[in-house]
Amino acid sequence: MIRFLIRRTLGAAVILLIISAITFFLFYVAPRDPARVACGKVCTPQTLNLVRHNLGIADPIPVQYWHWLEGIFVGRDYSSFGHCSAPCLGYSFQSQTPVLSLILDRFPTTIGLSIGAAVVFVIFGVGTGMIAAVKQGKALDKIASSASLIGSSLQIYIVGIIAMYYLSDQWHLVTRPNDHAGFTQDPAAWFGGLLLPWLVLAIIFTANYTRMTRSQLVETLSEDYVRTARAKGLSRRTVFFRFAWRGAMAPIVTIFGIDLGTLLGGAIITEQTFGLHGIGALSIKAVRDNDLPMLLGVILVAAAAIVVFNIIVDAIYAVIDPRVRLA
Amino acid sequence: MTTPASPSPAAPLEVTDEDSAASAKPGNPKGSESRSPGRLAWIRFKRDRTGVISALVVIFFFVIGIAAPLIAKAYGKDPYTTYGQNDPSLLNDFGFPVKPNGGMSGDFWFGIDPQLGRDVFTFLLYAIRNSLLIATATALLVTGLGIAIGLTAGYLGGKTDYLVGRIIDVLLAFPQTLFFISFWPVVLNILVAPNEATPTWLTVVSLISIMTAFGWASIARLLRGEVLALREREFVEAAKVTGASPARIIFKELLPNLWTPILIQATLALPMYVTTEAGLAFLGVGLSDPTPDWGVMMQYGAQYYQSDITYMLFPGLTMVIFVIAFNLLGDSVRDALDPKARR
């Protein structure tokens, strides 16, 4: 297990290195003055000079990239802008803040959004999938299957807006989505503000889990080891939960890890739809302002979320399903 | 498939999908008449009522898209004229349609859009046309590239396979939406001189290229896996012995055996690119107003939804209907081609 984790972590580090390098070079390959772009719309000649100096524009691009990498491990000095300490993902000249502190500032919203939605869609998805598998071929199964197909065809920017209009604006059933309250300050307001996004995300994601759970359970229930367990005289319930369910859950954990990683890496469209201010909104703002250091940081964090969750789910997979060996 | 534990003389050496598909359907009226696998799949598909209906819906959308200019001509309007601004009785002081339900009337079947007062019906027609064009082109390119790369990597193995595998790993770890939106300005910067308007065709081409560049990885990985299983089979060995070139083996021997997964992946890809492209336009990347497009309409509608929800509903519902129909069609195609893989 430890060898597996070490190997995968190294692999992940390499992937992140490649992604950051590609991003870096593509950003700076464009025929324009990166200092001008990094400096932003309100750019005095003094700031421009400072930015130029700080970016080390005179250096060749690989050297600049090296400095950027160096910053992550030992920190970096942006002379007059101040020091950016150890895990330094760069400096956003437009916001006059280190990139990482801005990202950390926005992260709670994204975490609240993703984890909350994940709890709802996993419970509903796996639950309906289990019912559908047990009641195979009956009306309930058919309803669950067709509902899941429709759900997976829906889009956040359609359902979200229609839901906001009717549920919040017209019928006042749910608070308008917002992220004014932090979880620690006012849990009730936090919950209310994120409830609608959770439900909409759940409608869309639940579908996939229902379908997966159903097909996985149907498959494992017909496996030999399940029949053996029944033949040994174990009760239906024990066999279902201890044997079949465990085997069926493994692939679902994989999908869940990927979904959660993607959500954490910035549910851009979701945040845009509901007007929330998480990582996704931060990246859109960075694109609008042409804030390259910011974008580089967000892309790296998002890619890291995806890669890390991939490793986590592979490890969990092996724990759940004893047939899987970590090579 | 052919395990040494089953030396029964009745068992054919090669149990291909076609054989089992043929034997799985013994009760056809003409008895032992031979039918090609494609024909059998077609017969199975025709029996699937959901599949046929969704196919009709999908065809309907494509016909509308192709015939958009004709329909608009017969209807007598175009998507660009700002009727509401030319005729002050159509929009109120706040720029919203005077008539209820988004200004729907005999003249403007689906109403007019807020602020500009363009005709929603023709705008939607052209939106369907443009969205389907981009999605179809992307799906075809992605599938083509995925086939070429996946098959080559799987068949050649070794270093090529390793390299391609790592590239796929990196591509799949990319936060794609984020990457698209952050590279859009960069791409335009490279292609278009500053202070110049971007021509629409260039937007379309770059959009398709970016989505293709990131899209081929998953289908290539899938096909690579299939090829790994196929390349040890006897017919490939036989082809190798007769001196066939790798290119010939890949495209003449392996490819014909892979049409089922390819077709399934392609039918899944198309609705995915419709929604991806619309999502990007919704975020302000890619096509933008006044180019008609599903995503552009969604974005426009999202700005005014609190005062004019009707406008939102047209692009929203048509897109949902199209995607549901296409996904149902994809399911039916899979059932028809591969009856063993029932969900």
Average pLDDT over residues A178-194: 76
Whole domain around residue A80: which residue ranges? 2-84
Find the CB nearest B175 among A161, A164, A266.
A266
pLDDT of A236: 79
User: Does residue B97 carry a pLDDT above 80?
Assistant: no
Chain B residues with CB-CB distance to A17 below 8 A? none
Domain final position from A49, A84, A119: A84
Same domain for A219 and A80: no
Find the CB nearest A295 among B182, B285, B305.
B182
Same domain for A154 and A264: yes
User: Does residue B224 carry a pLDDT above 90?
Assistant: no
Q: Residue length, chain A?
A: 327
Domain final position from A52, A84, A116: A84
CB contact under 8 A, B190 and A31: yes
User: Does residue B1 carry a pLDDT above 50?
Assistant: no
pLDDT of A303: 84
Cβ atoms within 10 Å of B270's Cβ, excluding its own: 23
Number of domains within chain A: 2
Handedness of CA A119, A123, A129, A133 (dihedral sign): positive
Within-domain flag for A173: yes
Within-domain flag for A38: yes
Same domain for A226 and A310: yes
* Mean of per-residue pLDDT scores for chain A: 79
Of residues B67 and A30, more confidently modeled: B67
Same domain for A187 and A129: yes
Same domain for A234 and A134: yes
Read off the pLDDT band of B9 (50, 70, 90): very low
pLDDT of A36: 64
Read off the pLDDT band of B135 (50, 70, 90): very high
A243-248: long-range contacts at Cβ-Cβ below 8 A with a sequence spacing of 24 or more? A244/A217, A244/A220, A245/A130, A245/A217, A246/A320, A246/A321, A247/A216, A247/A220, A247/A223, A247/A321, A248/A213, A248/A216, A248/A217, A248/A219, A248/A220
Chain A residues with CB-CB distance to B305 below 8 A? 161, 164-165
- What is the count of residue pairs from A and B with beta carbons less than 8 Å apart? 120
Within-domain flag for A93: no
CB contact under 8 A, A287 and B185: yes
Q: Which of residues 151-170 of A touch B (CB under 8 A)?
A: 152-155, 157-158, 161-162, 164-165, 169
Same domain for A184 and A35: no
pLDDT of B58: 92
Same domain for A193 and A152: yes
pLDDT of B99: 73
- For A34-63, the pLDDT digits (tens) are 566 666 666 677 777 766 666 666 567 777
Same domain for A183 and A69: no
H or E element that contains A82: strand A82-84
The residue among A303, A196, A213 whose CA lies nearest residue A256 is A213
Same domain for A125 and A74: no
Of A277-291, B20-34, B106-120, B295-309, which range is least confident? Answer: B20-34
Of A149-153, B138-142, B245-249, which range is least confident? Answer: A149-153
Same domain for A122 and A57: no
pTM of the entire predicted model: 0.80
ipTM of the complex: 0.76
Within-domain flag for A325: no
* Mean of per-residue pLDDT scores for chain B: 79
Same domain for A258 and A129: yes
Same domain for A255 and A213: yes
Within-domain flag for A100: no
Within-domain flag for A327: no
pLDDT of B17: 46
The C-alpha atoms of residue B343 and residue B339 are separated, in whole angstroms, by 10
Within-domain flag for A75: yes
**Which CATH number fits the domain that encloses residue A202?**
1.10.3720.10
- For A199-251, the pLDDT digits (tens) are 888 888 888 888 888 888 888 877 788 888 888 888 878 888 777 777 778 77
Of residues A81 and B336, more confidently modeled: B336
Average pLDDT over residues B148-161: 87
User: Does residue A190 carry a pLDDT above 90?
Assistant: no
Most confident of A31-40, A50-59, A130-139, B260-269: B260-269
